Structure 1
């Protein structure tokens, strides 16, 4: 054997490298498994948002008048079952005041949309439960993540309850649709869940040690900007749900004016005044437009500020938000000017998904800057 220097460490460096590499490899595998599961949930929630949008656009949301979390998964299997479901629908205001004379064939169309929406919700809950329990029992959830992943399931359960709270608002009185503020709550929570999944996936894409090191280089100013943009986008999405809830997007189809004026006629005609913010189609659409302009200004300002970041990928992330915001505004204008046909409305809604995820990514980049070479700085 070759002689060693008197102060040379003996046999430690190689063993440490092997041990550390083994631990990192194991953790990397755990994070990949969680990320794949979250990716499936993310895709399902995006589909759920689209199906929910179609359910609203086809006026199908009130076709099932009972909330049966377990037995409701079984659709009508006989003509007698269909008659019973149709009879329940005939008792609510939407049928009596709007759809009187509807045929069984027409009822089946709206029934299947709502049944599919609820069934997809059950399937998402099943995917979460099987994935979470599987990862938990095999001890593949990284340290510190159990509570956060459990919280996703709790929010999913809450979303189901809010869904029924929303539907219940349209079953009595003279309501022809669900209450718009309940619809906004339901859609808003869906986007919150989607945003959390996106944030978790971004974090799971990198080793914990990498995130810890990157956190020391976080840019507080741009983290704040990122938070502002995420909040502003969510607010616009919720206001968009109010627009959808009262079909406000199908009136006042001129732009940039509304019925030839800067503001719609009768903007504050309801009493008390605050009802106009939820029930007056002109007022609701006006503020949705107005906040779109405010959001665009905020996004441009944030993108200009982010140009001072020393991290190239952080700059790119904020610039991407600006580009998507511009595209989303164009989609909104076209959707309104064509009186919100379902295909444009769904594309506009999907644009909101992309915009929110990009805003979340921008904040994540600011909080955990990606490593870069001197050449790309």
Structure 2
């Protein structure tokens, strides 16, 4: 990739990275929506008309009446006043409208770049994949909400929540990867196989960890043991971890098991990232991967600290702030590991700058 191509691709890369930032905001809004129990407050999907919230008292009462028909209101929020309903409606509406805005931010610049011939032939297939992933995410979101309407469910399944969450992160990582692919010259990539291999394992572990983070949020598992460093005074709460009837159920539905796995994965990832940092420090000075070697380690330490704080605050009103910060740093860590993996993909013998 020559310098002229890099310069020509820069506007497209900036557009993609703006989209990545918007995806991060959308994921955080999704977290707030879940933690505030707002996800089922809007009981219908109107892609265009739904962009505006109820504009008068009559419209608000109609929306509230529809919410009163679902199980969440009947069994959990029957004490809600109209003002209470408005507070949860806001987060779901904002979450959906941000998704609409993202669609516009992706579509209109895409048309502009297409007309101006800023998108070359090699970008077409990645662009198609990008739009398909974005559309899929919207469909998953609505299916998830729909599952809690007209049923006895008071909350959307944490499994569906995790699928929705991870689909968004796949889209995010794809956008970041695409932006790097069209702007990063291959000459700056590192070719150390052991660093790359360890990076792959870290990506696998952080993916599992993020899934369990969604399980933690979806089941409110923190409330089952809001203590640290032990779990309700136990280092090994084995007698409380295996009571669901099957191993799969134990690791996906047992609150103590979910929390135990989430905690210990954090410790394992921290240790492995320290090892990765040490390996990356052995790379030639000046290589991008060498220069960014401390970023993932700093992020994971901050992430663990925020996780502990969020856990201890889970019974308190301040839980939302720390939980969202915890989620945000987790997303940054995933992006950092995606970037470091990209920079570790150099071929052996390739000259580095």
Query: TM-score, structure 2 length as denominator?
Result: 0.90
The structure whose Rg is larger is: 1
CA contact (8 A) 2:188 2:343 kept: no
Which position in structure 2 is the counterpart of 1:39? Answer: 17
Which position in structure 2 is the counterpart of 1:120? Answer: 98
Which position in structure 1 is the counterpart of 2:89? Answer: 111
What pairs with 1:189-200 in structure 2 (closer than 5 Å)?
189-200=167-178
What pairs with 1:242-253 in structure 2 (closer than 5 Å)?
242-253=215-226
Of the candidates 260, 265, 274, which is equivalent to residue 300 of structure 1? 274
What pairs with 1:36-75 in structure 2 (closer than 5 Å)?
36-75=14-53
CA contact (8 A) 1:318 1:359 kept: no
Q: Distance in 1 between matches of 2:208 and 2:135?
A: 23
In the alignment, is residue 233 of structure 1 matched against residue 211 of structure 2? Answer: no
Change (3 A) 1:29 1:305: closer
In the alignment, is residue 309 of structure 1 matched against residue 288 of structure 2? Answer: no
What pairs with 1:209-358 in structure 2 (closer than 5 Å)?
210-211=185-186, 213-214=187-188, 218-264=191-237, 266-312=240-286, 313-339=288-314, 341-358=319-336
Q: Distance in 1 between matches of 2:331 and 2:281?
A: 25
Q: Distance in 2 between matches of 1:112 and 1:186?
A: 20
Change (3 A) 1:231 1:317: farther
Q: Distance in 2 between matches of 1:371 and 1:351?
A: 34
Which position in structure 2 is the counterpart of 1:8? Answer: none
* 1:155-177 per-position Cα deviation (integer Å, ceiling 9, x unaligned): 01100111112112222443221
Where does structure 1 differ by over 6 angstroms across 4 or more consecutive aligned residues?
369-373
Give the CA RMSD over aligned residues. Answer: 2.3
| Offset of residue 289 of structure 1 | 0.7
Of the candidates 145, 160, 163, which is equivalent to residue 123 of structure 2? 145
CA contact (8 A) 1:317 1:361 kept: no
Higher deviation after alignment, 73-82 or 114-123: 73-82
Change (3 A) 1:273 1:175: farther
* 1:251-272 per-position Cα deviation (integer Å, ceiling 9, x unaligned): 3111121111123452222234
Q: Distance in 1 between matches of 2:221 and 2:165?
A: 16
Say how many residue pairs are matched. Answer: 346
Higher deviation after alignment, 298-307 or 285-294: 298-307
